[in-house]
Amino acid sequence: MKIGIVGCAGRMGRMLLGEVIAQDGLVLSGGTESPGHENLSDDLGVLAGVASQGIIAGDDTSALFDASDVVIDFTVPATTETHAALAAKHQTALVIGTTGLSAEDQAAVETAAQKVAVVQAANMSVGVNVLLGLAERAAGLLGDDYDIEIVEMHHRHKIDAPSGTALALGKAVAAGRNVDLEQQSVRVRDGHTGARKTGTIGFATLRGGDVAGDHTVMFAGDGERIELTHKASSRSVFAKGAVRAARWTEGQKPGLYSMRDVLGLG
């Protein structure tokens, strides 16, 4: 299976390169960066921190899609939209870990999924996807007597907030209670806010250091509090999950899939 990596010189890109190189049965078809990037022409193995692979980072993304069975994308929303169009054009499966997509970006992804298999997830970690199922179930069992707060923390360089994973957790608990997240979501509290409204789903965002990703769903009731937490100590868990998703696309029909599909969680 030939796997290409866009954004190959970024933190996640380098981990993805290393994961593809390390796994049996996979061929690294190439990696790209934006024109003018300082790491263009660097060996992909060196970028990954392993032995030289004899493949250099390029900037021809269309050629990468043409040479690959599947491409993994952890970049930024604007380029993900472009990559979705290239996936459809070249009939190349696509794995998307980019978060913060606009409605227009998401529409491009959904259009591509009509022609190729696309796996899109706010978080590729196996553990986080188990957490999503647990949070949805707990929300349905506990009901409005328990206030829900979702707290997330990431490294200082993360550009979107709340994180895609936090929003996915919000959708999970909203589904558990059969409510609309957008109508119940509280993203900001500042000043004289008044008492908390029953049934709302709160979000708190923390940024600092090199935190790979911490997420907690709190169910706060009278006299007790239940907390479901996932902490990623290394981005390698996201790379492993993404490569697992890439393998899974082989033989899949066109469609928009999630990590729950990849993991068989229903």
The one catalytic residue in 83, 154, 171, 215 is: 154
Query: Is 154 one of the catalytic residues?
Result: yes
pTM (2 decimals)?
0.81
Instruction: Return the residue matching tokens 């929300």.
Output: 139
d(Cα 221, Cα 226) in Å, to the nearest integer?
A: 8
Q: Are strands 147-154 and 255-257 parallel, antiparallel or unpaired?
A: unpaired
The one catalytic residue in 89, 157, 158, 230 is: 158
Structure tokens at 264: 């068989």
pLDDT tens for each residue of the chain, 266 residues long: 999 999 999 999 999 999 999 999 999 999 999 999 999 999 999 999 999 999 999 999 999 999 999 999 999 999 999 999 999 999 999 999 998 899 999 999 999 999 999 999 988 998 999 999 999 999 999 989 999 999 999 999 998 999 989 999 999 999 999 999 999 999 999 999 999 999 999 999 999 999 999 999 999 999 999 999 999 998 899 999 999 999 999 999 999 999 989 988 76
- For the chain, list the domains and their CATH numbers: 2-120+235-263 (3.40.50.720), 126-232 (3.30.360.10)
Task: Report whether 215 contacts 169 (CB < 8 A).
Answer: yes
d(Cα 57, Cα 40) in Å, to the nearest integer?
A: 5
Query: Is 158 one of the catalytic residues?
Result: yes
Instruction: Return the residue matching tokens 């997420």.
Output: 215
